[in-house]
Amino acid sequence: MANQTPQPEVYSTRHTFTAVAAGSSDTQTVFTNQANNETVRISALSANILTSAGVPIAAVDNDFSVRIRVGNASVPFTDFDIGVIHQSDSNTLVFAVPILVLFQQPISVEVINNNGGTSTAIVKISLHAELTLQQASCRECGLHHPRNSGCPIPRGDA
């Protein structure tokens, strides 16, 4: 339940690859635990590729991609190259339009190892989001405000 609206949230997953063939993947599910009158908007994704010792991995071994699913649909419909995100200064990709997650829609984060290899790689994905109360048009006042909160009290003229 949101304590403030919007409330910042970070949902993180950790994917470990050890001596796997190219094309193998690891999928983790994120549950937002939102109420039925709340929505989650994911606005950015950050990625870190680390060795088993926790050191950022070399640029030659970072051929990974990520796919985000909300419910049973991929959003957006293509994969993201994590290597490019990992090599950037901020390690973050900001979406042009946020990904909307409604009530009881699980988020699946699938990381695909495109290069294989014999060393261990740990991929950490963080989804930067905000949890908000759903806005509704009020029949009485015509304004948009959270459901079940009642109409805002109008200010009187001084």
Higher pLDDT, 49 or 150: 49
Higher pLDDT, 29 or 63: 29
C-alpha span between 124 and 84 (Å, rounded): 14
CB distance 68 to 74 below 8 Å: yes
Flag whether 154 is in a domain: no
Q: Tens digits of per-residue pLDDT, 96-140?
A: 999 999 888 889 999 998 876 667 888 999 999 999 887 766 666
CB distance 39 to 7 below 8 Å: no
Flag whether 135 is in a domain: yes
pTM: 0.80
Q: Label the pairing between strands 7-18 and 25-30.
A: unpaired
Q: Tens digits of per-residue pLDDT, 13-62?
A: 999 888 777 788 899 999 888 888 888 999 999 998 888 888 887 666 67
Q: The CATH number of the domain where 49 resides is what? A: 2.60.120.1330
What is the tally of structural domains in the chain?
1
Contacts of 31 (CB under 8 A, 6+ apart): 106, 107
